[in-house]
Structure 1
Amino acid sequence: MASRGDRLDERLVAEGLAESRSQARALVLAGRVLVDDVPRDKPGVRVAPGVALRVRGGRRFVSRGGDKLEGALDDLGVDPAGRRCLDVGASTGGFTDCLLQAGASSVVAVDVGYGLLDLRLREDSRVRVLERTNARFLEPAQVGPGVELVVMDVSFVSARLLLPALAAVAPGASWLLMVKPQFEVGRDQVGKGGVVRDDALRGEAVDAVAAAAAELGFQERARVDSRLAGPKGNREIFLLLAPRAADAGTGFANSPGAR
């Protein structure tokens, strides 16, 4: 392929195959973009004029995070339909998009960044956006009462540091947390390229998050590997937690692998 031309992510947006560069990047990293019927996994690769682009399988969510969450909801038997949800680390909105498409009644989308959430979601009446908001310092007044399901996807910080805030704003909710081992283990335990390859270390990372949640009154119900690896190959794990006093009839307690 010629070295000159537009960036692949820019071409996807220009041709209407993606709504934003962030979405285009997610599609490329998910392996769903074909250039002259050849899969490409680098959003910045140059694409010559006239080259045919195609998105395999169409677009379901604004980012591949939606595909990850959809897999976890299915694997763990969690149904967001009719529930008020909180999405911590919403970014472009993959998790939020997935929750809404699964029937969630509303989503509070929280992120420390600004202007990241996809415009379609930003304009959805079911979504309330809390931007420039550090989730470590979330307060009940910001979120409002009645949160039934919390989902979380955060980077460059241990998930454990955010749990006290979650307990304060959503004490009766079930939590579905995507644990990223590379941000839970010590720096000396992270391998080349920022990838944690040791399965034992990955398990310990999830155990540590579960233990921190237990101190706040939340019990592990199940865990499952994400169906999709992270961009660099890290294998993330979804951890399902619920209040110890939760009624077994909530629909979350009987998930596969519940402890």
Structure 2
Amino acid sequence: MKNIKKTKKIRADELLAYQQDIPIEEARKFILAGLVRINSNQMVKNSSEIIEQGINLTLDESLKYVSRGALKIKPSIMKYLPDMAGLIAADIGASTGGFTDLMLQSGASKVYAVDVGYGQLHYKLRQDERVINIERVNARAIDNKMVPEMVDVITMDLSFISVLKVLPSVNNILKENGWAFILIKPQFEARSFEVGKGGVVRDREVIERCLSSISSYIQKNLTWNVLDTIPSPILGPKGNQEYILTCRK
């Protein structure tokens, strides 16, 4: 962590850089973008604003990335792989690119952003030379021609398809000892009659069965190690609780 002057008051950009352990240039960008709060409440308006050192400055995490989707999987990334410096990743079901952005900001040197849709990836990421945008590709069709190098990390956020149908394909592009962070959506894993009104799965037994089934499949058929499964902090659009499954190949 950077050193800080031993004074009672300090510039906002210097304090943020110290508390978040980031370059001061990055701290200034966050302040300029309106992402910094004093004690999670009052917005810091200027980098030169003078603040008491004892005050806690926080970042509005939902605005730090191109989409709030990044926050869905961030807890597991921060727990297991907070430093991705030099790693190559594949974001399966990239959409706007929240997971892609999260990995780039964590140090990834390259991310293959794969999605069945077209034109969804955020402009910022489409202009980033570290991002390889692969559109109009069904995740089940991913192979070593589309992603011509083995990757260190895979993230998955799929809709309207079970992850079980995609895992065999992504296994072929993941390095030995590679990481997989998979967002599990019970509404796309459960049987149709188990999905309630509005597309929400509320039966705890159904959810547990889906999670257990996926973990068992991974360990038996892919021989990956399942490290943990935790609730995602962000609910799905219709209120579904989603889950982050973390694995190591």
Q: Identify the residue that residue 78 of structure 1 maps to in structure 2.
A: 81
What are the residue-to-residue correspondences of 1:115-194 with 2, within 5 Å?
Answer: 115-172=119-176, 173-194=178-199
Unaligned ranges ≥5, structure 1: 1-55, 244-259
SS at match of 1:140: coil
Measured in 2, the distance between the counterparts of 1:65 and 1:185 equals 22
Q: Identify the residue that residue 227 of structure 2 maps to in structure 1.
A: 221
Amino acid in structure 1 at the alignment position of 2:65 = F
Q: Identify the residue that residue 111 of structure 1 maps to in structure 2.
A: 115
Bigger strand fraction:
2
Measured in 1, the distance between the counterparts of 2:80 and 2:61 equals 24
**C-alpha displacement at 1:58, in angstroms?**
6.7
Name the Cα RMSD after superposition.
1.5
Contact 2:73 2:181 in 1 (8 A): no
Measured in 1, the distance between the counterparts of 2:127 and 2:154 equals 21
SS at match of 2:222: coil
Measured in 1, the distance between the counterparts of 2:131 and 2:223 equals 28
Amino acid in structure 2 at the alignment position of 1:232 = K
SS at match of 2:72: helix
Q: Identify the residue that residue 201 of structure 2 maps to in structure 1.
A: 196
Amino acid in structure 2 at the alignment position of 1:230 = G
Contact 2:189 2:210 in 1 (8 A): yes
Measured in 2, the distance between the counterparts of 1:57 and 1:236 equals 19
Unaligned ranges ≥5, structure 2: 1-59
Measured in 1, the distance between the counterparts of 2:107 and 2:137 equals 26
Contact 2:152 2:175 in 1 (8 A): no
- Structure-2 change in CA distance of 1:202 and 1:59 (3 Å): same
Measured in 2, the distance between the counterparts of 1:216 and 1:201 equals 23
**Structure 1 stretches (4+) deviating beyond 4 angstroms?**
none
Residues 24-69 of structure 1 show CA distances to partners (whole Å, capped at 9, x for unaligned) of xxxxxxxxxxxxxxxxxxxxxxxxxxxxxxxx77711111111112
Measured in 1, the distance between the counterparts of 2:105 and 2:188 equals 29
Measured in 1, the distance between the counterparts of 2:63 and 2:204 equals 32
- Structure-2 change in CA distance of 1:101 and 1:234 (3 Å): same
Identity of aligned residues (%): 38
Contact 1:100 1:106 in 2 (8 A): yes
The count of aligned residue pairs is: 187
SS at match of 1:224: strand
Contact 2:227 2:247 in 1 (8 A): yes
Contact 1:69 1:98 in 2 (8 A): no
Measured in 1, the distance between the counterparts of 2:126 and 2:73 equals 19
Q: Identify the residue that residue 232 of structure 1 maps to in structure 2.
A: 238
**C-alpha displacement at 1:189, in angstroms?**
0.6
SS at match of 1:209: helix
SS at match of 2:151: coil
- Structure-2 change in CA distance of 1:188 and 1:73 (3 Å): same
Measured in 2, the distance between the counterparts of 1:212 and 1:125 equals 36
Amino acid in structure 2 at the alignment position of 1:140 = N
